[in-house]
Structures are given as C-alpha cells and as structure tokens.
Amino acid sequence: MKPLIVRLLVLFASFQLTLCLQAQSPVDKDFVPNGKVEMTLESGNYEIQPSSDNKIHVRWNEALKSVRVKVDVNGKSADVRVENTPHDNFHATIEIPAETSMRIRMTAGNITVSGIKGDKDIELNAGNLKISVGDSKDWGKVDASVTAGNVVASPFAANKSGLFRSFDWNGPGRYRLHAHLMAGNIDLIK
C-alpha cells in the first residue's frame, strides 16, 4: 500500500510542477497615470492594454528561465525591457495605466495596443502593428510609414500599400502618434 501512496504523491508533484511551468510569469510595479513608459521588446507577440490599477503588469506564457523582464520606475517614467525571448511562439501581455504615453522599439513580431490614451511612438523592424486609436479628434499629429508593406488607417482615411508608403495627418487633438515598420503591416483602427 505504501508504494502506491508514494507513486500518487510523485504523480501529484509532477502535475503541480507542470501547472507551474505552464503558468504565466508575472512582473508587477507601481506606476502613476499620465506618465511615460519606454519599452524595448525582443521578438514575440505582445498585447498592450490598460491595467485595472496604477501598476505596470507584464505576463508571459513561457516559463523559460532565459526570458528576462525588467521594469524600472522613476517617478513619472518607466522602462520596460523584455529580453532573451524564445525564437517562436512567445506571447506577453503588458498592462499600463490607461492614460500613459509610450515609446516602443521592437525587433520583430506583432504588437496590439488597445485602450491606452496618450502619445505613441512605436517602431518595429518587421511584423504587424495594430493600434486602437479611438476617435480621430483625439489626435493632433499622426504619421505612419512602412518601407515595405501596408498602412491601413481608416479613422484617418488612409490606405497605402507597397514600397516606401506613408501618410501624415493633422487634427485638433492633443496626442501624437508615430508608427514605423521596415517590413509589415500597420493597422490603425477605431
């Protein structure tokens, strides 16, 4: 009877370890609304969305020890770095206060930004960038460009594809948007 109990305990421990390895790995830091977050992201798929509190939360679906996430906060500025991501299927969610300006630099992959009000300065070498911009009246200066690819920005009545495509737009709002990709697609949606 004892060997059966030992086997069940070993099986239970293995199951718990598997659950831990599949769980998301969190990094959380206090932050203030109306601040500025600079992000340096290695390859992967990222969702950037509002947090439900005044914190920066970073979660990812890979429990690999090689992935390094660093969040430094200094007053109204924060620096988020994601490094040593695996070569395939890395996904992370980054939550920041809903009213935050951001600057993002990324090697390659996909970024979706939704529900964040503030200036946006985003550049990728290759991939897809999707930004929910809300009402076009919120924006002052908007520019988006691709060296090769597509720029679709229906709230600003722009649709460009091919090589060296860009558009500029000026409106009554207070926010600024700059988006650039070497190769890929920019999709600005309402």
Q: How confident is the model at residue 85 (pLDDT cuts 50, 70, 90)?
A: confident
d(CA 83, CA 68): 5
- Identify which of 159, 129, 169, 144 has the alpha carbon closest to the alpha carbon of residue 45: 129
**pTM here?**
0.84
For residues 102 and 122, the answer to whether their CB atoms sit within 8 Å is: yes
Helices (H), the chain: 2-22
Cα separation, 55 vs 51, whole angstroms: 7
Residue 169 has a pLDDT of 97
What three-state secondary structure class fits 11? helix
Quote the pLDDT of residue 16: 42
pLDDT tens sequence across 87-143 = 778 899 999 999 999 999 999 999 999 999 999 999 999 999 999 999 999 999 999
- Region label for 127, one of left (φ > 0), alpha (ψ between -120 and 50) or beta (otherwise): left
pLDDT in tens, 62-72: 556 688 999 99
Q: Which of 176, 173, 153, 149 is nearest to 161 (CA)?
A: 149
What pLDDT does 154 receive? 95
Is the predicted pLDDT of residue 10 greater than 80, yes or no?
A: no
Where residue 89 falls (left for φ over 0; alpha for ψ -120 to 50; beta otherwise) is: left
